Amino acid sequence: MSMKKGIIFPIQIIFVCLIFASLIYQHEAILLTTAGQGQEQSTTESDNITQSGVPGTPHTDEHRIQQPVRPRIFDTVLLNDELELLEIRMNELDKVVDVFVVIESEQTFQRGFKPLHFQQASRDKAFARFIDRVLHIVVPNITEAEEARNRRIGGDGPWAIESYLRNKGVQMALQTFQPSPGDWVLHSDVDEIPRASALAEIKASSSSLEEENDTHTQAQTRVLDCSFYYYSFEFKRAESRKGPVLAQFQLAPTGVDPNSDEPVELNNRGTRVFNKPLWEDWPNVGIRLRGLAYQDRGPNLVEDGCWHCSWCFSNISLVRSKAASYAHSEHNTDTYMNNTWIIKHVRQGKDLFDRNEIYNYGGPPIDVPKFIADHLDRFAYLTHRYKVPNAGFLDVPEESIHF
Ligand SMILES: *[C@@H]1O[C@H](CO)[C@@H](O)[C@H](O)[C@H]1NC(C)=O
Ligand SMILES: *[C@@H]1O[C@H](CO)[C@@H](O)[C@H](O)[C@H]1NC(C)=O
Ligand SMILES: *[C@@H]1O[C@H](CO)[C@@H](O)[C@H](O)[C@H]1NC(C)=O
Ligand SMILES: *[C@@H]1O[C@H](CO)[C@@H](O)[C@H](O)[C@H]1NC(C)=O
Ligand SMILES: *[C@@H]1O[C@H](CO)[C@@H](O)[C@H](O)[C@H]1NC(C)=O
């Protein structure tokens, strides 16, 4: 799956064009739908299959949808600047994920500016071999209308922007790559790394949805439960944590209101539908996916399905960048972002934010993503920072530490 550097750039341009094309189309489709020419008009079988309600559009690809295909996995993540975690993730999931969707914006959750890190990094050797399977989604800055809407769903301030980025990013991804019924859409934060083995099992045990009109029984969801680490794989929390969710793409049952802010309902077997392929009018897809993590019903829960490595950064500058960017703006204070404070806490495995959270030092880790195990020197900061004077931060010279 490697490719020459020279053609990386054109492929990105194609993706950008696709995004623009679908945005233009999306706009038309919304207008048509509000004009009453949407679902009510869906009286032919082909309309039911495409669900677009707008014949002759770029999205009407009945042939492909009708062909049963092996389910694919689309991995969708939000990126701030965690490129090393992204690289570990892509290498772990290399053989099981079909399309990596990297969602970025020039705006942090705290409304600061951030560069489009993946845009720059995509030319690096680290990502070159994945690039023909990467869809880089650049979400435009939030508008006032979107902010008001996402405040209702996600919460105030930075939470509204996080909600917007999830919703808009996943929506734009689905617009660009039309999944087939049965394909899995995976959504998680970049530091929640699914185990390749867990995804391989999900893929192998699921089938494409051959009956286009079966909206109730076949589509499945999965919630991955993660071993939960802080700073490195040496410090583990006693309790695991749910994170990545997968949902099979499926045609919507009739009567589903795509604009509803309600989370997706699961049936009592935990195998409820992923709801609606009508991305033109499905603005809450990201939050609905994320919300599935709190709706496991037993059967869809995958125990020990991932690693969550929180604040697992090589550089102290990245710790500060996260605190200045993410939704918990209350953590972005002089006390917490003091270098001495950060180093002392990280090398002891103590909580940075006075929350009484306990991270247990478990000795040199043995259970890590394969890419880390294969590059232990490079990733020493993920396996060996306990009691190291500079806590393993590459941008803090050890000789500068006198505490
Ligand atoms: C399309 O779906 C609607 C709603 O389920 C149904 O009433 C209608 O009969 C379907 N049309 C065809 C041709 O299957
Ligand atoms: C987007 O938001 C960021 C941060 O507020 C700002 O720096 C940037 O100029 C904005 N971009 C556009 C195109 O408005
Ligand atoms: C799909 O709809 C057709 C026509 O209504 C019906 O014959 C068929 O049994 C349905 N398939 C499933 C799986 O429900
Ligand atoms: C960080 O904390 C240390 C120890 O409390 C203090 O000496 C230092 O001045 C602080 N640095 C900054 C930039 O506030
Ligand atoms: C981390 O710091 C080192 C040393 O300053 C620097 O070479 C490297 O580029 C930094 N890495 C990241 C990901 O910021």
Q: What is the pLDDT of residue 283?
A: 72
Distance 340 CA to ligand 4 centre (A): 7
Candidate from 39, 43, 278 with most ligand 1 atoms within 8 A of CB, to mutate: 43
Average the pLDDT over each of 6-15, 107-116, 292-301 and give the range with the smallest value: 6-15
Distance 230 CA to ligand 4 centre (A): 23
Cβ contact 302:203 at 8 Å: no
44 pocket-lining for ligand 1 (C-beta < 6 Å)? yes
Q: What is the pLDDT of residue 209?
A: 62
Cβ contact 225:241 at 8 Å: yes
Q: What is the pLDDT of residue 49?
A: 27
Distance 339 CA to ligand 4 centre (A): 7
Q: Considering every ligand atom, which ligand is closest to the CA of 212? A: 3
45 pocket-lining for ligand 1 (C-beta < 6 Å)? yes
Q: What is the pLDDT of residue 214?
A: 53
The DSSP secondary structure of 51-120, one letter per residue, reads --SSTT-TT--HHHHHS--PPPEEEEEE-SS-HHHHHHHHHHHTTT-SEEEEEEESB-TTS-B---HHHH
pLDDT tens sequence across 375-391: 999 999 999 999 999 99
Distance 338 CA to ligand 4 centre (A): 6
Q: What is the pLDDT of residue 232?
A: 98
Q: Which residues are CB-contacts of 38 (< 8 A; sequence separation ≥ 6)?
A: 32, 53, 54, 281
Is the entire prediction scored with pTM above 0.75? yes
Cβ contact 193:89 at 8 Å: yes
Cβ contact 196:43 at 8 Å: no
Measured CA distances, 98 to 93, 207, 264 (Å): 9, 15, 25
41 pocket-lining for ligand 1 (C-beta < 6 Å)? no
Q: Which residue owns the Cα nearest ligand 5 atom 2?
A: 395
Residue 395's pLDDT band (cuts 50, 70, 90): very high
pLDDT tens sequence across 191-241: 999 999 999 999 988 866 655 555 555 567 889 999 999 999 999 999 999
